Amino acid sequence: MSDPNDRSRRRRQSRNVDDFGPYDHPTLTPRGYELMRGSPLKDESYQMPLAGLKQGDHVQPLKPGSDAQNSYAVPSRNAAAKPGQYFKGMTPPPPLFNVLPSRMFPDPNVLMHGPLDRYYKSWSLAGASVRNNQSSSPRSSETKTSDSANDQLRAIGRMVIHIDHASWDQPAFGSAWIAGPSLVATCAHNLFDSNKRHWSRAIEFYPGFDYYTSGEPISCNVTACYIPKSYLDNPATNDDIGFCYVDRNIGDIIGATIPIVPPETNHFFDDNEVTIMGYPAGAEFDFGKSLWASKGEYLFGRSSGPSDDYSPVLATNFGGGCSGCPWLARDPSTGRWNAVGLSSGHARLHYRRGELNLMSLTSPMLTQRRMDRLVDNQVFHSFEA
C-alpha cells in the first residue's frame, strides 16, 4: 500500500501556477501566488459575516435609553447555534470603553459590521515606480516626493532578531529605522520577549534592505538598547518603545535619518496623512524582501485607562515583520519625513471568539511627555554579540 504522504508530496511537487489559472496578482510574485492558491488556509477573514447577519441585512442602532446605547443591535435570529452556523449564536458586542473614535467613524462598533478595505502600496526606493493593489504605474503627483525625502527612506531597515539562545538558525524578523548617527529606533518587543521573560540574544540591522538589488547589503549589529522600565512589568502598547545603539555610525554611512517629532494630541492623526513603512513578512508582501508602505486611514485611539494616552490605530493589513517600523508624516514646510509613531501590534475592538479581523495596527502615542519620561524610567541592556 502506498504511503499517502508520498502521494501528497508528489501532488504538491507537480503543482504550478497554471493549475490555478493565469497569473494576475498586483502584489505577489508568481511563486508567492502559487503558495497562496495552493494553501488549504485562505485569508478570508475580512469577508467573514457578522454574527446573526445575512447578506442584505442592515444594522440598526439600539433605542435611546438602552443600557448599551453606544453599541449596535444584531437582528434577532435563532439563538441556538447549529452545526455549520457557528456565528449565528454569537451575542452582540459589548459597549466600548476608553476609545476615542476618529471623525470618520463616529462609533467604532460600526467597524464590526463592515469589512475594511485593504490599504497598502509598495514604494520603490529608486523612485522609478509605485505598485499598488490596483495597478502598476509611474509615480503619480500624489506620491511624488523630493529627492531628499526619498533618500530618507533608506533609513528604514529590516531587523534579524536571534531570540533562541540555543540556535542561530531560526531568527525572527522586525523593522526599525535610523533616528540618529548611531541610534536605531524600534519597538520594545523586538528587544525583550515579555512571554519568555528574556532579552533577544543578538540583533542585526539592515538599513535600506532590498533583496532584489545587487551587492552586499549594508548592516550593523545592535550592541545595547534601552526600553521603558514599566514595559518589563506590563507590556502595554504605550510602553512598546525601544532605542538601540549599534557598532557603526550607520546614519553617517547611509546618509539618512528620520527624526522623531512627537504629535501634540491624538487629533494629529485625524488631521494628517500618516504612512506606515516597513517589512511585513507575509506572502502577500513577498515575504518582506523589500520596503512596503501602507497609507491606512485613522480609525480610533484606545487607552488602558482614564489617565493613559490614546494609542492611535490605523487601518492596514500589514502583519508580522513590520513590528517596530516607523509611522511617517511629512513636514509641511520641507516635505521631509518625520516619525510620529511606530508599529506595536494588531489592534482589536473586542476580545472574544469569532471576532472579525480589523486589519489594523496600533502605535504608542509618542507624546513629548512620554519621551521625556523614558529618560528617567528606563532599563539598559547590553547584547552578547
- With respect to CATH, is domain 121-145+259-366 assigned 2.40.10.10? yes
The pTM of this model reads 0.73
Domains 121-145+259-366 and 151-257+374-382 share a fold: yes
pLDDT in tens, 25-68: 655 667 666 655 654 433 333 333 333 333 333 333 333 333 33
DSSP character string of 25-61 = -SS--HHHHHHHHH-S----GGGPPPTT--TT---EE
CATH code, residues 151-257+374-382: 2.40.10.10
Domain boundaries, the chain: 121-145+259-366, 151-257+374-382
C-alpha–C-alpha distance, residues 157 and 179, integer Å: 12
Q: Which residue has the cell 488556509?
A: 41
pLDDT in tens, 132-156: 332 222 232 234 445 677 889 999 9
**Neighbour-count burial of 355, counting CB atoms closer than 10 A to its CB (0-12 exposed, 13-18 middle, 19+ buried):** middle
Judge whether 314 and 360 are in contact, CB under 8 Å. yes
List Cβ neighbours of 71 (8 Å cut-off, separation of 6 or more): 62, 92, 93, 94, 95, 96, 109
pLDDT in tens, 5-17: 444 433 444 444 3
Judge whether 316 and 360 are in contact, CB under 8 Å. yes
